[in-house]
Amino acid sequence: MKYIFLGLSLILTVSSCSTDSKDLLEIRYANIKTALESDIPIITLSDSEEMSATNQKNVFKDEKLKAMCFDPATGKPMLNEVLTISKVRPADITPKIEVCKNSECLRLEVYNFALNGTGIFFVKKEDNKLLDYQFYPTMQGDINEELANLATYIAVHDSTVIAQFEGEPAAESVRMSATKTALNRTKCQRSQHLCIAPTFVKGDKALWVIVDLTELRVAGTKWTSVGTTGMAITERAAQNDYVMSCFCDKENSFKDDNWSYKYNLTRSDGLKIYDIAYKGKPTIKSVKLVDWHVSYSKTEGFGYSDAIGCPEFSQSAVVAVEAPYFEPIVEKNDTVGFAMIQKYFSDGWPTPCSYNYQQEFQFYTDGRFRPMMGSIGRGCGNDGTYRPVTRISFFSDDAEFLTAKDNSVDVWQKEGWVLEDDTYHYIDKDYLAQIKLGENTGYMMEANKGQFGATSRGDNAYIYVTVDHGDGGEGESDLPTLAPCCNNNYEQGPEKFINGESLLNKSLVLWYVPQMKNDDTPGQKYCWAESVLENGIYVPKVYPCFSGPMFVPM
């Protein structure tokens, strides 16, 4: 399993870009490194006729500006950049800078990449004295020419842009009459980063490329028709539009030599995969994640019951803003399968009380299947327990669910539930249950006791089995929130479908509710995330927790 942290993704972006005679990204990284290693972490405006680079830096030697330069907790440098330098205008003059009525003064706009805010500084040109300044959180000034060129460079070298543009809109060609570019203002509402949108015209269409100048990557793209008006193209608009049109409003399918299935993003039950077949044989009817229950032990009844799903027109509290993606599963240098991953974010994650959830479906070439549910923090406290509710239904009119009891393995006769606690009787030490789907077919359900890797410490799960009537009921269609946040017993929602019905000769639904306790103890962090200052900007550092049994073919 691979986790790409933001810091690493920067490196990946660099290495994936083709080099040319003037690699602006290389230059940018070098400038950032130089700035952060100097006593004043600021990138100066290089082509200013009004003020030398030394004078620009000297402005920041004022002790009052330390808070804009260094993180108060760690003392690490925060990245700043002078965006513009201009002469003070009459309208700028306040009593504090009255001297500028008779002396030449300069106005500097300086963006802080870590804090996402802009400082406006007034300096007397003659002696470079700082007269006054104000810092405006969330304000982003006009970008300078260097950043504009950098944004265009990042856009034209991005593989997604090249694919969508059907060719690389090279820096030279963007100025050709047939392929024009313009830099449009845009907003990155979710990341709270400095963004700009180079826009490339091709025929009667325009491709907006939202470039994140804080992380130095493309944050989103969107085609529009030239000459028509519509909603402004922003990070959120581009992300939502892509996820809605490609995954919420559309059924997708996957097929390789071993596995085939369909999938789409639901309005409140996460990514649903269905009609799953292994080597052409239908096995699992559908898998989805109905709710995330998060309770905090220090405050009785405090927590949240979150649905996950589409970013618009949904009942989701934590939404998908990116497409699902695939990764290979590698064991001992061999690729033994693949995983499909879908992430969900709260705005502002990983600030306190925001959430990041993940679904991961692992498909192995030998027929094993593991639906995983993960929390990437951070939540509202260090006393949280996460209980995701997963629903799995199977293809079989004559399914059987078996668990160990003393020295035997018994078929469940009626709907019911069981808790995987310390006294649980496993089958052959490792298996929670056996699911027979017909003659010599079905799954052994391997418990997650922490053997699947560092991101899993065991599930301590509630398991429910109910009848699937096949009429869209029993939760097959999109489910509203099933249960409140904070029940610490079996009442997690699936029990509402248990009414004593016989399970014999029926299709079955399996509900799986693991329990994961978060931890922020240094060295043991789990289901946790925090912001750390790296390379002058805040990036998330994550400590995921994943749950889920392994379904092993019989």
Partner 1 sequence: MKAIYILILMSFYLGLQSQDCRKFPDFALALGFDVTRSAFSSSEHREMGLLLVELDPKNLRHSARSKTYKDPTWDDAGYLGPITIDRFGNGYVSAKPNVNMLYNPIINQNTIYKIDNASGKMSSWLVLPYSDESNNQNPYGIVGMYYDCNMDYLIVSTVSGSTQSSEVGKIFRVDVRNKTYELICDGVDAMGVITLRRDNKNVLIYGSARTSDVYSVELDSKYQKVGNPKKILTLEGLGSRGDDRARKIRVDGDNLLIDGTTFYYNLTAPTFIQESKYTFDIANNFALLNIR
Provide the binding-site residues for partner 1, judged by CB under 8 A.
138-139, 185-187, 189, 231-232, 234, 236-237, 240, 244, 249, 267-268, 302, 304-307, 310-319, 346-348, 351-354, 478, 480-481, 483-484
Cis? peptide before 190, omega within 30° of 0: no
In the beta sheet, which residues pair with residue 200?
181, 207
Nearer to partner 1, 181 or 186 (CB): 186
Q: In the complex, what is the shortest distance from the CB of residue 319 to partner 1, in angstroms, rounded to a whole number?
A: 6
Q: In the complex, what is the shortest distance from the CB of residue 140 to partner 1, in angstroms, rounded to a whole number?
A: 8
Q: In the complex, what is the shortest distance from the CB of residue 268 to partner 1, in angstroms, rounded to a whole number?
A: 6
Nearest to 274 by CA among 546, 477, 552: 477
> What is the rounded CA–CA span in Å between residue 119 and residue 464?
57
Q: In the complex, what is the shortest distance from the CB of residue 270 to partner 1, in angstroms, rounded to a whole number?
A: 13
Residue 62: which residues within 8 A CB-CB, separation 6 or more? Answer: 130
Nearer to partner 1, 210 or 465 (CB): 210
Q: In the complex, what is the shortest distance from the CB of residue 478 to partner 1, in angstroms, rounded to a whole number?
A: 5
Half-sphere exposure of 362 (CA within 13 A, CB side): 25
Q: In the complex, what is the shortest distance from the CB of residue 353 to partner 1, in angstroms, rounded to a whole number?
A: 4
Angle at 525 between CA 461 and CA 390, to 5 degrees: 25
> What is the rounded CA–CA span in Å between residue 68 and residue 308?
37
Half-sphere exposure of 150 (CA within 13 A, CB side): 23
Q: In the complex, what is the shortest distance from the CB of residue 310 to partner 1, in angstroms, rounded to a whole number?
A: 8
Phi, psi of 399 (to 5 degrees): -80, 155
Nearer to partner 1, 268 or 396 (CB): 268
**Residue holding tokens 């229950």?**
293
Nearer to partner 1, 323 or 418 (CB): 323
Residues 326, 339 contacting (CB under 8 angstroms): yes
Nearer to partner 1, 317 or 508 (CB): 317
Cis? peptide before 72, omega within 30° of 0: no
Q: In the complex, what is the shortest distance from the CB of residue 251 to partner 1, in angstroms, rounded to a whole number?
A: 16
Residues 431, 445 contacting (CB under 8 angstroms): yes
**Residue holding tokens 């073919």?**
553
Question: Which amino acid appears at position 430 of this protein?
Answer: D
Nearer to partner 1, 118 or 362 (CB): 118
Nearer to partner 1, 453 or 480 (CB): 480
Residue 293: which residues within 8 A CB-CB, separation 6 or more? Answer: 303, 304, 305, 306, 386, 387, 388, 389, 483, 484, 485, 486, 487, 492
Nearer to partner 1, 241 or 420 (CB): 241
Handedness of CA 22, 23, 25, 26 (dihedral sign): negative
Q: In the complex, what is the shortest distance from the CB of residue 187 to partner 1, in angstroms, rounded to a whole number?
A: 4
Cα separations in angstroms, 44 against 52, 167, 338, 504: 9, 35, 46, 75
Q: In the complex, what is the shortest distance from the CB of residue 299 to partner 1, in angstroms, rounded to a whole number?
A: 8
> What is the rounded CA–CA span in Å between residue 309 and residue 269?
6
Nearer to partner 1, 179 or 315 (CB): 315
Residues 95, 74 contacting (CB under 8 angstroms): no
For the record, the structure tokens of 411 come out as 């078929």
Q: In the complex, what is the shortest distance from the CB of residue 300 to partner 1, in angstroms, rounded to a whole number?
A: 12
Nearer to partner 1, 41 or 311 (CB): 311
Cα separations in angstroms, 322 against 57, 156, 198, 271, 328: 39, 21, 21, 12, 19
> What is the rounded CA–CA span in Å between residue 306 and residue 291?
6
Residues 327, 337 contacting (CB under 8 angstroms): no
Nearer to partner 1, 345 or 543 (CB): 345
